[in-house]
Chains A and B, each alone.
Chain A
Amino acid sequence: AQRVTQPEKLLSVFKGAPVELKCNYSYSGSPELFWYVQYSRQRLQLLLRHISRESIKGFTADLNKGETSFHLKKPFAQEEDSAMYYCALRALDSNYQLIWGAGTKLIIKP
């Protein structure tokens, strides 16, 4: 069965420190992976998708098929990065349904 695991419910780092939010997945097919973010009092929104291979707000994520991971990274955290982050997988053999991780709350300390 498809599954997305975000092992950290809460991650707290200091401003300027590197950030890595972990995401591991279980899926036998070829996955499409995404990171969504929800800032305080704002709507959940797409941050980035692995196909795009782009950096958004300084964040990058590389799909590692060998380790079945899609970790989200940023070299220097900023206070405005504090938010809830969700990793999601698109299951091609489940009618494109998105499988969601439990989310990681990122707190950037000043």
Chain B
Amino acid sequence: NAGVTQTPKFQVLKTGQSMTLQCAQDMNHNSMYWYRQDPGMGLRLIYYSASEGTTDKGEVPNGYNVSRLNKREFSLRLESAAPSQTSVYFCASSENRGGGEAFFGQGTRLTVV
């Protein structure tokens, strides 16, 4: 069982460059999420998708866009990377009925120089 798969695992970008973080889940979950993790800040929600075809902003959406390509895949795009976006990014998925725990990918460590 692959669970939630994120690519890439590591990335270094120059300020102003763009990139897309990919995420796929094989658990047939309706909901998918993108979080960023920064020291002392815990996990903060960037965007989420409650079902295929819908996306909504979370706590820290500025500078990011997302696409729910199909039920399995949920990508996160940085159009013009900034040093403030240096972080570890986690994709997660869950059932969107209450009580379904979130399953996490291994994370993408992104550095913007």
Asked if A and B bind, the verdict is no
By a beta-carbon cutoff of 8 Å, the part of chain A in contact with chain B is: none
By a beta-carbon cutoff of 8 Å, the part of chain B in contact with chain A is: none
